[in-house]
Amino acid sequence: MRLNWLWIGIMCLEISSLAQGKADLPKSTEHLLIDMVPMRDGVKLFTTIELPQKDKKFPVVLLRNLYRKRTDEIKEPGDVAKRNFIFIHQDVRGAGRSEGEWHAFLQERNDGEDCLEWIVKQPWCDGNIFMTGGSYCGSSQFLAAACGNPALKGIAPEILAMDYFTPMTQREGVPTLALFNWACWCTFNNLGLKEDNPRPKYDDAHVAWRERDITALNRPIHFWRQMTNPQAFDEYFKQMDAKDFISKIPCPAYLLSGWYDIDASAELKVFTALREHGGNERVRQFTHCVMGPYTHGSVAGFPGVTETQETRNKLHDKQNQFFINLFKDENSDPLPDMKPITYYVMGANEWRGAETWPPQGTTFTSYYLGGGSANTLAGNGFMKASLEETSEDIFISNPLNPVPTVGGRWEDGAKEQTAPLGGRKDVLFYRSDVLAEPLEIAGPVKARLFISCSTPETDIAIKVADVFPDGKAYNIVNGIKRTSFRAPYEKLEPMEPGKVYELEFELQSTAHCFQPGHRMMVIIAGQDYGYFVFNRNTGKDDSLDASCQQAEIRIYHTQQHPSAIILPVSAK
C-alpha cells in the first residue's frame, strides 16, 4: 500500500476565503462523504471523508488544512476502493468552507481535539487515527495531539515550530516581516479580494510597525497585532507553548524540516522533547526526525548540495512507511533501519545518523573575534581558537539605510554574501585562517558578544558563512537579537548608553563541513532587513512610534570582554 496522497495540500500557494457556511455544499456520494463537523462552541467545520467502501471500519488519516479555498472543486476520489484507509480533509475554522473566524494557531488545540473525538465516534472509524501535514498544517496536528486522545497512533508534522513566539513572530525580540507578509496574505484572501498577493508598504520608515497593516490593507490585522505585542510572551502564547504539553502527546512523530527553515532548532527541540518527555514509552522510543538542506519548502541551494526537490519528496515514502508500520504494530519501531535523527551534512554532502541532537561527542568550541577595524571585506577582522586582544570594532546602525537580508530563513536559503554586503561600512567581517583539514559541525551554533551602544536599544544580527577558495561566501546559519531582550521575555530592559553588556545568541542548528582551503566567516550588522524589521534605536515601542535615530555600536575583544562564536564541532 502506498500513501502518496499524504503530501496533498501541504504547500498550497493560496489561502482560503473566510467562510460562514452560507455557500452551497457539495453533495455526498458513495465514496465521498461531506459533513459540517460541530465544535464545542457550535461552529461547524467543512470536512470531506473519502471512504474505500461503506459498512466497514478503516483506519483514518486526517489533514486539518488552512489552505483549501472555498472555491476549490471537491472531486470524487480516484481508486478509493483500492485503499485500506479513510482520508479526511478538514478546513480549519474560518478557512475554506468552514464557519467561524480564523485566529492563527490559537484555535487549533480545541478544534483539533473536537475533531478527533468526532472521528472516533463515527461508524466507519476502526479507532486508529493518523495525522499529516506541513507548515501550518503541521502545527494544527501537533496542537491537536496535545489533547492526548489515545486513538491518535501517529503524527507527521513537517516544518514545525516548538513555540510560536520566538521563531514565528519575534526572533529574540525582533519582529519578522515574513510573519507580517503571511498575515497580510491570509487576511487579504480571507476578505475575498482578488487572488494576487498584496504588496504591503512596509518599506515606509515613517510608518509605525503596528500601523503597517493599515498601510497595507486599510484595516487592522488583530491576531497579528496580538502576536507582535512587544510584551507578547503572555497568556496568548503560553496556550501554544509545546513545553507545557509535550508530556501529553500520545503517539510517535515523524518530523521533517530543513536547515534554512523558519527555525531549524525548533524542530530539533520538539524531537528531543518527545524522545525525553513524550506521553508514553512508544513516543520516547519511536519518534524520528529528518533534517535536510531545505528551506520552508524547497532545496536551499548551498553550493554542491546533491539533494533535489525530487529526492526531498522521496522522504515522504519514509513517512508513509512510518504510518503503515505503526498501524501493523504500534509497539515496534516503525523505522528500524533509521537512527532516531537523520541529518544531511552540507559541505560534505552526506547523510548521517545519530541517537541524539546534537550528536554524541560534539564539543562546543569558541572562536574568538578580533580586529579593531573589521568594517567591510577590506577590514582586519579575524576569528581564532585562542583569544588575541584588540581594540573594539565600531559601526553605525542607521534605520534609514538598513542592512538588507541576504539569504537565511523561510525561502531565502543559501546566498552569496560578499557581493551585496562586502562594501558596507556598517557590516563587520571576521575570517578564520585557511583551513588545512575538514572541520565538521553539527548542533546549535551560539555566540557571545560584548557590546555597548549609544542608544537605549538596538538590534545585533549575526551570520556564519563558509568562504570558498574563490572568495565567495555562503551563509550557513543566522540569528538576531534585540538588546532589550537580555532578560526573560516577560521583561524588557533598555541599555544604559556606553555601558558594556554581554549578549548571548542561539543562531540556528545546522550540520556543515568546512573543507580544506575554505575559511570560516562571521558577519555582524545592526539589521537583517527584509526578513526582520529594523530597529529604530530609540528604545520606544516601535510598534507605535515611528521616530528613528542612528546608533553607534561597539564590539569588544579583550580578556574581560571576549566576544566569540561558539561552534558545535563534531567528533572525528
Question: Rounded to 10 degrees, what is the CA torsion of 39, 42, 43, 44?
Answer: 70
Task: Report the alpha-carbon distance of residue 261 to residue 279 in Å, rounded.
Answer: 27
The class of domain 1-9+26-157 in CATH terms is: alpha beta
CATH number, domain 363-569: 2.60.120.260
- The predicted-structure confidence for 340-365, as pLDDT tens digits, reads as follows 999 999 999 999 999 999 999 999 99
Q: CB atoms < 10 A from the CB of 486, how many?
A: 18
Inform me whether the pLDDT recorded for 23 exceeds 50.
no
Task: Report the alpha-carbon distance of residue 141 to residue 243 in Å, rounded.
Answer: 16
Inform me whether the pLDDT recorded for 206 exceeds 70.
no
- pLDDT score for 331: 93
Query: Helix or strand or coil: residue 116?
Result: helix
Specify the range with the lowest mean pLDDT, choosing from 29-33, 118-122, 208-212, 516-520. Answer: 208-212
Mean pLDDT in residue range 445-456 = 97
- pLDDT score for 449: 98
Q: Are strands 125-134 and 152-158 parallel, antiparallel or unpaired?
A: parallel
Percentage of residues of the chain with pLDDT beyond 70: 85
Q: Which three cell numbers stand for residue 122?
A: 463515527
Whose CA is closest to 512, among 302, 315, 252, 356? 302
- The predicted-structure confidence for 37-76, as pLDDT tens digits, reads as follows 999 999 999 999 999 988 899 999 999 998 877 767 777 6
Task: Give 106's pLDDT tier (boundaries 50, 70, 90).
Answer: confident
Ranges assigned E (strand) in 416-550: 427-431, 439-453, 459-467, 473-482, 501-514, 519-525
Task: Report the alpha-carbon distance of residue 394 to residue 376 in Å, rounded.
Answer: 12
Inform me whether the pLDDT recorded for 239 exceeds 90.
no
1-9+26-157 against 245-357: fold identical: yes
Task: Report the alpha-carbon distance of residue 176 to residue 167 in Å, rounded.
Answer: 9
- The predicted-structure confidence for 164-184, as pLDDT tens digits, reads as follows 545 555 567 788 887 778 887
Task: Report the alpha-carbon distance of residue 460 to residue 483 in Å, rounded.
Answer: 7
| Residue ranges in 70-154 assigned as alpha helix (H) | 108-120, 136-145
Q: CB atoms < 10 A from the CB of 425, how many?
A: 12
More confident residue, 538 or 241: 538
- pLDDT score for 225: 76
Q: What is the pTM of this model?
A: 0.90
Task: Give 22's pLDDT tier (boundaries 50, 70, 90).
Answer: very low
Task: Report the alpha-carbon distance of residue 556 to residue 372 in Å, rounded.
Answer: 9
CATH 3.40.50.1820 fits 245-357, yes or no: yes
- pLDDT score for 95: 86
CA distances in angstroms from 100 to 111, 190, 237, 441, listed in the order given: 11, 12, 21, 47
Q: Are 266 and 160 in contact (CB under 8 A)?
A: yes
Partners of 174 in the β-ladder: 171
10-14, 353-357, 502-506: which is most confident: 353-357
Domain locations in the chain as residue ranges = 1-9+26-157, 170-235, 245-357, 363-569
Whose CA is closest to 447, among 488, 363, 526, 506? 506
Helix axes 108-120, 136-145, angle to 10 degrees: 70
Task: Report the alpha-carbon distance of residue 253 to residue 299 in Å, rounded.
Answer: 23
Task: Report the alpha-carbon distance of residue 213 to residue 226 in Å, rounded.
Answer: 13
Exposed/middle/buried for residue 572 (C-beta within 10 Å: 0-12, 13-18, 19+):
exposed
CA 50 to chain centre: 31
Whose CA is closest to 480, among 529, 539, 431? 529
- pLDDT score for 175: 80
Task: Report the alpha-carbon distance of residue 449 to residue 252 in Å, rounded.
Answer: 39
More confident residue, 409 or 532: 532
Exposed/middle/buried for residue 79 (C-beta within 10 Å: 0-12, 13-18, 19+):
exposed
- The predicted-structure confidence for 272-308, as pLDDT tens digits, reads as follows 999 999 999 999 999 999 999 999 878 888 999 988 8
- pLDDT score for 204: 54
Specify the range with the lowest mean pLDDT, choosing from 112-126, 241-255, 332-346, 429-443. Answer: 241-255
Task: Report the alpha-carbon distance of residue 548 to residue 24 in Å, rounded.
Answer: 52
In the chain, % helix, strand, coil (3-state, to 5) comes to: 20, 30, 50
Task: Report the alpha-carbon distance of residue 444 to residue 431 in Å, rounded.
Answer: 20
Task: Report the alpha-carbon distance of residue 260 to residue 478 in Å, rounded.
Answer: 9
Whose CA is closest to 116, among 142, 65, 151, 91? 151
In the block, residue with C-alpha cell 548608553: 497
In the block, residue with C-alpha cell 468552507: 97
- pLDDT score for 262: 82
CA distances in angstroms from 407 to 295, 418, 505, listed in the order given: 10, 12, 19
Task: Give 14's pLDDT tier (boundaries 50, 70, 90).
Answer: very low
- pLDDT score for 3: 37
Q: Provide the 8-state DSSP code for 248.
A: G
Inform me whether the pLDDT recorded for 317 exceeds 90.
no
More confident residue, 295 or 229: 295
Considering only CA atoms, give the Rg of the chain.
Answer: 24
Q: Are 155 and 130 in contact (CB under 8 A)?
A: yes
Inform me whether the pLDDT recorded for 187 exceeds 80.
no
- The predicted-structure confidence for 362-407, as pLDDT tens digits, reads as follows 999 999 999 999 999 999 999 999 999 999 999 999 999 999 999 9
Mean pLDDT score of the chain, rounded to an integer? 86
CA distances in angstroms from 245 to 209, 229, 235, 240, 342, listed in the order given: 32, 24, 15, 9, 25
- The predicted-structure confidence for 512-542, as pLDDT tens digits, reads as follows 999 999 999 999 999 999 888 888 999 887 6
- pLDDT score for 21: 39
Question: Rounded to 10 degrees, what is the CA torsion of 51, 56, 57, 62?
Answer: 0
The CA-to-CA distance between both ends of the chain, in Å, stands at 41
Question: Rounded to 10 degrees, what is the CA torsion of 169, 175, 180, 183?
Answer: 20
In the block, residue with C-alpha cell 482520508: 87
- pLDDT score for 440: 98
